[in-house]
Amino acid sequence: MLGRILLVGRIAVRDLRRRRIETALLLLALTAATTTLTLGLVLRDAAGDPYQSTREATGGPDVVAGVDRHAKLSDLEELAGAPGVIDHGGPYPVTPAKLQASGRTSDVQAVGRDATPASVDQPKLIQGDWVSDGGVVVEAAFAKALDVRVGDPVTLDGRSFEVVGVAVTAAMPPYPGGTCIVAVGCASGATPEVLAKLPPGLLQNPGLVWLTQADVRRLAPDPGSLAYVMNLKLADPDEARAFVDAHSSEGLAAPRLESWENILEGVTELARDARILLMIGAWLLGLLAVASVSVLVGGRMADQTKRVGLLKAAGGTPGLVAAVLLAEYVLVAVVAAAAGLAAGSLIAPLLTGFGAGLIGGTGTPSMTMSTVGSVTAVAVGVAVVATVVPALRAARSSTVDALAGSPRPPRRTGWLIVISARLPVPLLLALRVVARRPRRVVLGVVSIAITVSGIYVALVLNAFLTAQPLAAGVDDAQAELLRQALLAVMVILFSLAAVNAIFITWATALDNRHSSALARALGATPGEVSAALAAAQVLPALAGAIVGAFPGGFVLFHAINAITGGDSDRATLPPLWQLLALVLATVLVVAALTAVPAYLGGHRPVTETLRAELA
Amino acid sequence: MSNAADVSVLRARGLRREYGKGEGLVRAVDGVDLDIGAGETVAVMGPSGCGKSTLLHLLGGLDRPSGGEVWLNGRRIDDLGEKALARMRRTDVGFVFQSFHLMEELTALENVELSALLAGRSPRAARRRAGDLLEQVGLADRARFLPSALSGGQRQRVAIARALSNEPLVVLADEPTGNLDSAAVLDVLQLFERLHESGQTLVIVTHDARIAATADRMISMRDGAFVDETRLSGGTTGQLGAFVGLED
């Protein structure tokens, strides 16, 4: 048994080394898919870990409780004494204000804190010192968005303050995802149209600042307008949700409670969005990789017919032959999985971008066994799905036929042959090329449809992020990061589709070398044959682009919304002209990509090809 | 090689085709002069690898010579571009190959009509012409069969019908009986005989003396050059089968 495994491995490795370029392309296609999948899988951890670090460094609360009016302070005091609560910070007064800094104005929630450190939620200073009278500490992500630093003068409702510190907290997600703790209410993420319909006075996308309690009380128009917030530490942090459920009650006057798990969800929302984008991208790339590998394997199988015959003639069973063919691609898949895991874990931190709002935002994400297992399984699955049919077909083929190197006979698609007779020579030949290998044409159509669907979704999301970044719960910098994630997926998707188009054209040119040479012997010009080979790719590309742009992209976008629970009504779908331009551009790009292999295929020496068929 | 007919359909002067360089240089065709008259059947004989097929490819514009000239119907073709050569092949030359070279996915009828479609004939005219030709080669009842369902002789007859599709000036046949059994050889010979009688110019490359004996003229080739030429007075007239030793 061991000897057999070694034999299979040795033959597989030798064959891979003999065909280095094809092996490299195969590796590239699979690595693109596994990298994206790894990115998607590790991104949640990449965002979750910095929050945990921040929680530890700041004595982060297990539950944050808030009330709107001074009169309800007793409710908070009651919570501080509730069973399971081992420590608490506050209650701290909170007031809304308008902050002006460097010519920019923003709404803020100003929290009044003691100058002495608190045991629960003591924000960790990134720069400067903690609050003092006349000195304001700005939440780090908000400070970055507003571009303020320690020492900068700011005004709060017209009163002058100096920025004395910049800090991070685990009691609230970083700006702009902060929760609303002021009495007047907030309108985070609302579009200008929605804002116009809301009551005046609501804070718009407020940032978080800390002042001394005295300064906060001075800012408040009257003591009764202050809201209060209290941070609770529980004996068992895992019971935070249960604590919130047990102490929540209906009604506007009741305290609002939020568990640390809820805050973590808010923190990881951006990562969740990027993760969903990447996971969908990974699936699209996985499908494209199946198409790439199928085309490559199909092309190689045609070349390997004689080799299969030799293996069988030398006593190899059909099982051994199938095992050798499968082993080659599984080996490549395992290497691609390893490369994808390495690349994905290196790139992931660049896409999280929580450095401003949390501690350790650019740290290395953890690689779990489940991630490794999932990525490897997908890579091997892609290879097996694409290889199993041709491998079994080769294993079952007649040894004599295989030794003779007889290529797989082309298919006859009668109706296409009849239609083609009425068309000009390049289209006549193109339709006959298409008719010979319908499965390859389907792969071409699917490949382009997947790519165009992906571009459709990218157009929608890019337009949404550009027009309404705050509505998406992200600030400009984070929108830029999401856009980068989107761009990365699109670039990989596009590259893989381009590689597919070239593969398919080249495989078609090779597969049709005899019929092309014969057509030329019968009077077709090299230009007509080249045009036919190119048209045989462009026609399926046109079909794929139409399918991808109209039903495909729409369906994919709504599927994403269904998965993420997004509100598709807020997104603007691409106008008709943009979709038509997308279809046209796709066709032009495919035509350009296929031009060289089609040209080479159409200009092969006729006599050499016809003579080779006799050999 | 001075016995050219009064009107040369095909003419070659100093024709050369070389492969490789230096010590590896191979002269596949080495200074061939040739004149083939209208309606003439010429057989080129010689052992395998003597350059017969290469010569045929040069004469039909499928390959380019390293030197010399080729004239077809008074027009020099060795300096034509690929496009012009292709157009010339459409209308002026019909090829018959040893291994038939039929499109496997096309029926006999569709294979025959392909040449006419490439030449720009209407689908209806191409189909009618293909039907007539298949009838002429005795395969009207096999018109809808795929090549895989035909015998070797039947496939070669389909290939001959295809070569005639555009009424070419000359038919170039490369070992047309090389892959056939005796009965099929006789079928093909009879077909060539009929073509000869109808005035079709034919150049047949073969290493089979029985086939060559049916021609008007037999040229022997060795190492890329002509070494002998024989005018056969009897041509292909008379009892063809008996003449070539295929029948009693």
The residue that leads in pLDDT, B14 or A10, is: B14
Q: How far apart are CA B113 and CA B119, in angstroms?
A: 10
pLDDT at B3 exceeding the cut of 50 = no
CB A31 within 8 A of CB A336: yes
Q: Residue A182, class by beta-carbon neighbours within 10 Å (0-12 exposed, 13-18 middle, 19+ buried)?
A: buried
pLDDT at A462 exceeding the cut of 70 = yes
For chain B, positions 5-44, list CB contacts with chain A under 8 A.
Answer: none
Q: Which residues of B touch A615 (CB under 8 A)?
A: none
| pLDDT for residue B207 | 82
Mutate to test the interface with B, among A422, A522, A613, A614 (most CBs of B within 10 A): A522
Measured between CA atoms, the residue of chain A closest to residue B159 is A522
| pLDDT for residue A11 | 76
Mean local confidence (pLDDT), B56-66: 92
Mean local confidence (pLDDT), B30-45: 93
Mean local confidence (pLDDT), A62-84: 78
The structural architecture, per CATH, of the domain B8-243 is 3-Layer(aba) Sandwich (3.40)
Secondary structure (3-state) at A201: coil
Q: What average pLDDT is seen over chain A? A: 80
Task: Show me where the domains of chain B are located.
Answer: 8-243
The residue that leads in pLDDT, A289 or B61, is: B61
| pLDDT for residue A477 | 61
| pLDDT for residue B18 | 93
Which amino acid appears at position A259 of this protein? S
Measured between CA atoms, the residue of chain B closest to residue A425 is B118
Mutate to test the interface with A, among B52, B90, B93, B103 (most CBs of A within 10 A): B103
pLDDT at B188 exceeding the cut of 70 = yes
Nearest chain A CA: its distance from B232 CA (Å): 31
| pLDDT for residue A371 | 83
| pLDDT for residue A565 | 62
- Choose the closest CB to B63 out of A519, A607, A613: A607
- Choose the closest CB to B105 out of A412, A518, A522: A412
- pLDDT tens track for A367-411: 788 888 988 998 888 888 877 777 777 777 777 776 665 666 788
- B125 and A CB contact within 8 Å: no
- Choose the closest CB to B123 out of A421, A519, A610: A421
Measured between CA atoms, the residue of chain A closest to residue B84 is A525
Lowest average pLDDT, out of A16-25, A68-77, B55-64, goes to A68-77
The residue that leads in pLDDT, A559 or A565, is: A559
| pLDDT for residue A508 | 83
- B80 and A CB contact within 8 Å: no
| pLDDT for residue A382 | 81
Query: Contacts by A345-348 with C-beta closer than 8 Å and gap 24+?
Result: A345/A38, A345/A42, A347/A35, A347/A39, A347/A488, A348/A38, A348/A39, A348/A42, A348/A43, A348/A46
Q: Quick one: pLDDT band at residue B245, thresholds 50, 70, 90?
A: low
Mean local confidence (pLDDT), A348-364: 56
CB contact under 8 A, A603 and B82: yes
pLDDT above 70 as % of chain A = 82
- pLDDT tens track for A4-25: 777 777 877 887 787 787 788 7
Q: Which residues of B touch A613 (CB under 8 A)?
A: 99, 101
DSSP annotation string for A517-584: HHHHHTT--HHHHHHHHHHHHHHHHHHHHHHIIIIIHHHHHHHHHHHHT--GGGSPPPPHHHHHHHHH
Lowest average pLDDT, out of A66-80, A295-309, B27-41, goes to A295-309
Burial A155-168 (b: 16+ CB within 10 A, else e): ebbeeebebbbbbb
CB contact under 8 A, A607 and B83: no
Lowest average pLDDT, out of A475-489, A536-550, B20-34, goes to A475-489
pLDDT above 90 as % of chain B = 59
| pLDDT for residue A188 | 66
Mutate to test the interface with A, among B64, B106, B162 (most CBs of A within 10 A): B106
Q: What average pLDDT is seen over chain B? A: 87
- pLDDT tens track for A605-614: 888 888 765 4
Measured between CA atoms, the residue of chain B closest to residue A415 is B106
| Strand ranges (E), chain B | 8-19, 26-37, 41-45, 67-72, 75-76, 93-96, 170-174, 201-206, 217-222, 225-231
- pLDDT tens track for A358-377: 655 444 556 788 888 988 99
pLDDT at B244 exceeding the cut of 60 = no
Q: Residue A283, class by beta-carbon neighbours within 10 Å (0-12 exposed, 13-18 middle, 19+ buried)?
A: middle
CB contact under 8 A, B86 and A436: no
Q: Which residues of A touch B124 (CB under 8 A)?
A: none
Q: What is the DSSP letter of A410?
A: P
| pLDDT for residue B240 | 47
CA B84 to chain centre: 20
CB contact under 8 A, B115 and A527: no
Mean local confidence (pLDDT), A434-454: 86
CB contact under 8 A, A518 and B148: no
| pLDDT for residue A6 | 78
- B48 and A CB contact within 8 Å: no
What number of other Cβ atoms are within 10 A of residue A262's Cβ?
Answer: 17
| pLDDT for residue B217 | 92
Q: Quick one: pLDDT band at residue A529, thresholds 50, 70, 90?
A: very high
pLDDT at A309 exceeding the cut of 90 = no
Lowest average pLDDT, out of A135-139, A484-488, B52-56, goes to A484-488
pLDDT at A478 exceeding the cut of 80 = no
Mean local confidence (pLDDT), B187-201: 88
Reduced 3-state DSSP string for A87-139: EEEEEEEEEEEEEEECCEEEEEEEEEECCCCCCCCCCEEEEECCCECCEEEEE
CB contact under 8 A, A421 and B113: yes
**Most confident of the ranges A184-198, A310-324, B70-84:** B70-84
CB contact under 8 A, A518 and B146: no
- Choose the closest CB to A522 out of B54, B106, B118: B118
Task: Show me where the domains of chain A are located.
Answer: 1-59+267-408, 85-234, 410-615
Q: Which residues of B touch A605 (CB under 8 A)?
A: 63
| pLDDT for residue A444 | 83
Interface A–B counts its CB contacts (< 8 A) at: 83
CB B125 within 8 A of CB B112: no
CB contact under 8 A, A607 and B89: no
The CA distances from residue A534 to A374, A432, A593, in Å, are 38, 13, 9
Give which of A51, A349, A50, A254 is closest to A172, Cα–Cα. Answer: A51
The residue that leads in pLDDT, A475 or A524, is: A524
Q: How far apart are CA B155 and CA B103, in angstroms?
A: 11
CB contact under 8 A, B148 and A410: no
CB contact under 8 A, A520 and B98: no
Q: Quick one: pLDDT band at residue B209, thresholds 50, 70, 90?
A: confident
Q: Quick one: pLDDT band at residue A29, thresholds 50, 70, 90?
A: confident
Q: Residue A453, class by beta-carbon neighbours within 10 Å (0-12 exposed, 13-18 middle, 19+ buried)?
A: buried
- Choose the closest CB to B99 out of A411, A603, A613: A613
Q: Which residues of B touch A525 (CB under 8 A)?
A: 82-83, 86-87
Q: Which residues of A touch B83 (CB under 8 A)?
A: 525-527
pLDDT at B218 exceeding the cut of 50 = yes
CB B184 within 8 A of CB B100: no
The CA distances from residue B74 to A152, A538, B6, B92, B169, in Å, are 94, 41, 12, 12, 12
Mean local confidence (pLDDT), B88-102: 91
Q: Which residues of B touch A413 (CB under 8 A)?
A: 105
- pLDDT tens track for A170-193: 888 888 777 777 777 777 666 666
Q: Which residues of B touch A603 (CB under 8 A)?
A: 82
Measured between CA atoms, the residue of chain B closest to residue A608 is B63
Q: How far apart are CA A166 and CA A130, in angstroms?
A: 9
The stretches of A198-268 forming alpha helices (DSSP H) are 213-219, 240-247, 260-267
| pLDDT for residue B76 | 94
| pLDDT for residue B4 | 42
| pLDDT for residue A613 | 54
CB contact under 8 A, B166 and A523: yes
Give which of B35, B31, B16, B17 is closest to B201, Cα–Cα. Answer: B35
Nearest chain A CA: its distance from B145 CA (Å): 12
CB contact under 8 A, A524 and B119: no
Mean local confidence (pLDDT), B47-66: 91
| pLDDT for residue A588 | 94
| pLDDT for residue A362 | 42
